[in-house]
């Protein structure tokens, strides 16, 4: 077994040689160039952080592409669970008698539930769900990664789904 990275020069060489081909490989599955780049950047960051522990049996190329593939699988699982959380919240709200729902009451309840979130998490949730900004717009506005926005929305939606049960009486 050999070390994948012995110094920063090795890392730079691997990054320059494999970044674009790895992004192309991942993009075949996720069909979004920005997400593909984020997955590969995360992969390289993990490799850099674990450089002292990584020993490679085969070639560097196989190791890098396998690491990228594993990172992509984690990413897709997260996306799937975020989507399922959104659907779960939608189902909870749809189960209410919508004929008598006042939009202002709904907004009040949403803001009340959101008040239980951490400040940054609440801000991202409100920008997305109440002001209609996309993940990318929020990321640019707050100078954070799109992935960070996705993670925050996922946490907020999980919280909303759990808490909405306590407020159903207000919405009837």
- How far from 143 is each of 4, 134, 147, CA to CA, in Å? 33, 14, 12
pLDDT digits (tens, 9 = 90+) for 42-71: 999 888 888 878 777 777 888 888 889 888
**Residue 98: its pLDDT value, please?**
45
pLDDT digits (tens, 9 = 90+) for 66-87: 889 888 888 877 776 555 555 5
Do 142 and 104 belong together in one domain? Answer: yes
Reported as half-sphere exposure (CB side, CA atoms, 13 A), residue 14 has a value of: 24
pLDDT digits (tens, 9 = 90+) for 160-171: 887 777 666 555
pLDDT band at 128 (very low <50, low <70, confident <90, very high): confident
State the residue range of the domain holding 125: 96-171
d(CA 116, CA 53): 40
Share the mean pLDDT of the chain.
Answer: 79
Give the angle subtended at the CA of 68 by the CAs of 6 and 147, to the nearest 5°. Answer: 110
pLDDT band at 22 (very low <50, low <70, confident <90, very high): very high
**Higher model confidence: residue 146 or residue 99?**
146
Do 114 and 153 belong together in one domain? Answer: yes
Mean predicted confidence (pLDDT) in 93-107: 54
- Domains: count for the chain: 2
Specify if 69 maps to a domain.
Answer: yes
Of 68, 8, 73, give the one whose Cα is nearest residue 44: 68
- Residue whose entry in the numeric block shows the structure tokens 């659907």: 87
pLDDT band at 91 (very low <50, low <70, confident <90, very high): low
pLDDT band at 104 (very low <50, low <70, confident <90, very high): low
User: Alpha helix locations (H) across the chain?
Assistant: 8-30, 33-49, 60-94, 103-114, 119-125, 135-142, 146-163
Do 63 and 124 belong together in one domain? Answer: no
Kindly report the CATH number assigned to the domain that includes residue 69: 1.10.1740.10
Specify if 85 maps to a domain.
Answer: no
Token readout for 40 is: 């590969």
Token readout for 91 is: 């189902």
Residues 128-142 as b/e (b if ≥16 CB within 10 A, e otherwise) read bbeeebebeebbeeb
**Residues 141, 42, 147, 27: is their CA dihedral positive or negative?**
positive
Query: Are 29 and 72 in contact, with CB atoms under 8 Å apart?
Result: yes
Token readout for 132 is: 């209609």
């Amino acid at each position: 077994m050999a070390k994948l990275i012995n110094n920063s020069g090795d890392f730079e060489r691997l990054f320059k040689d494999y970044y674009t081909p790895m992004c192309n490989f991942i993009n075949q599955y996720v069909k979004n160039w920005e997400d593909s780049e984020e997955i590969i950047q995360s992969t390289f960051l993990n490799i850099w952080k674990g450089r002292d522990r990584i020993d490679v049996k085969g070639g560097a190329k196989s190791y890098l592409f396998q690491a990228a593939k594993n990172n992509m699988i984690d990413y897709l699982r997260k996306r799937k669970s975020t989507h399922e959380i959104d659907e779960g919240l939608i189902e909870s709200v749809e189960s209410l008698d919508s004929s008598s729902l006042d939009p202002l009451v709904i907004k009040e309840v949403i803001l009340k539930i959101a008040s239980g979130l951490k400040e940054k998490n609440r801000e991202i949730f409100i920008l997305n769900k109440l002001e209609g900004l996309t993940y990318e717009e929020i990321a640019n506005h707050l100078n954070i990664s799109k992935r960070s926005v996705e993670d925050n929305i996922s946490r907020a939606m999980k919280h909303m789904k759990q808490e909405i049960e306590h407020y159903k009486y207000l919405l009837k």
